[in-house]
Structure 1
Amino acid sequence: MDWLKIDQVSKESGLTKRTIRYYEQIGILPPPMRSEGGIRCYTQEHIDLLIKIRNAKEALGFSLQELQYFISLGSAIEANKIDYKQSFEPAKQKEKLIEIINNIDQKLILIEKKIDKIENVRKELLDLKKRAQTVVEKMNMENFEE
């Protein structure tokens, strides 16, 4: 397994070292192994998770609390996928698939809420633009009549 230092993780994830440490502190990012000298030793999985976190934060505008929940749902999905693959009992497999579906539904609900908020802001901006255009058109007509 290749161990990566925080400088490399920062570069590959696009996040600052301070942000990475903070995400560890609040539990969004699992703490990495440490060397005998206490240096953090990250894996590619840490980078992959940080990229997912960054994308969710940037694209969806998640708060840290929402990020924690979103990431925990992703972790639950992964754990259930592993359990599903390791189980040979159809009833247990079905149970794990249902749990996966429920976790996916929860992630979709979070995303839908963000989409609704974005759509509301979009509508407000379009309405404001329309009102401003109406005033400009009215002013143009008044200038034309003079």
Structure 2
Amino acid sequence: MDQMVYSVEEVAAKFQVTSRTLHYYEEIGLIPPIPRTDGGHRQYSQEIVERLDHILRIKRVLGVSLQEISAILEAENSLNELKLQYREIDSDEDKRSILLQSSVLLQSLVDSIQQKVSSLEKLKGSFEQRLDNVRDLLNQVK
């Protein structure tokens, strides 16, 4: 059975981004090189569409730069590689080493996200204070 492929226009519309954004993500390595038709048109696989969904969700939810997204994706790839290595070894010492490496990577990701959450909490607090001030003024105005 043939795998479903999507044009750049279809993918851009799905994610509400420009085709230039998709091309740029390919250029900087966030997504792998996209296969092209004989006519040179990009053909996005379901796997690439899912990766783009993941990238754009990270960007939207965490509000991070493309460089930070790249670092997150690299950490995720490293974690997947460590998981495969863990399954293939028998030595408790080697398993422990892999688990420690995984722990360090995951803690780094958690710390990065926590920094973003803290920044958002501060921003939220600032807006809540302004909202309280506006409500106080509203109660004073008849």
TM-score for the superposition, normalised by structure 2 = 0.81
| Segment of structure 1 superposing worse, 61-70 or 87-96 | 87-96
Alignment-derived partner of residue 4 in structure 1? 5
- Partner Cα distance (1:113, 1:55) in 2: 18
Q: CA deviation at 1:122?
A: 0.6
Q: CA deviation at 1:51?
A: 1.1
CA contact (8 A) 1:13 1:47 kept: no
- Partner Cα distance (2:107, 2:80) in 1: 15
Aligned-residue RMSD, C-alpha: 2.4
- Partner Cα distance (1:38, 1:139) in 2: 64
CA contact (8 A) 1:3 1:43 kept: yes
- Partner Cα distance (1:122, 1:43) in 2: 39
Alignment-derived partner of residue 54 in structure 1? 56
TM alignment of 1:68-107, pairs within 5 A? 68-107=70-109
Alignment-derived partner of residue 68 in structure 2? 66
Q: Is residue 127 of structure 2 the alignment partner of residue 125 of structure 1?
A: yes
- Partner Cα distance (2:131, 2:87) in 1: 53
1:102-127, CA deviations, whole angstroms, 9 ceiling, x for partnerless residues?
A: 11111111211111111111100111
SS at match of 2:33: coil
SS at match of 1:32: coil
CA contact (8 A) 1:6 1:42 kept: yes
Q: CA deviation at 1:2?
A: 2.6
Aligned length: 140
Distance 1:26 1:137, change over 3 A: same
Which of the pair has more CA radius of gyration?
A: 1
| Segment of structure 1 superposing worse, 12-21 or 118-127 | 12-21
Q: CA deviation at 1:11?
A: 5.4
Distance 1:96 1:11, change over 3 A: farther
Structure 2: state its 5+ residue gaps: none
Q: CA deviation at 1:83?
A: 1.4
User: Identity over the aligned pairs, expressed in percent?
Assistant: 24
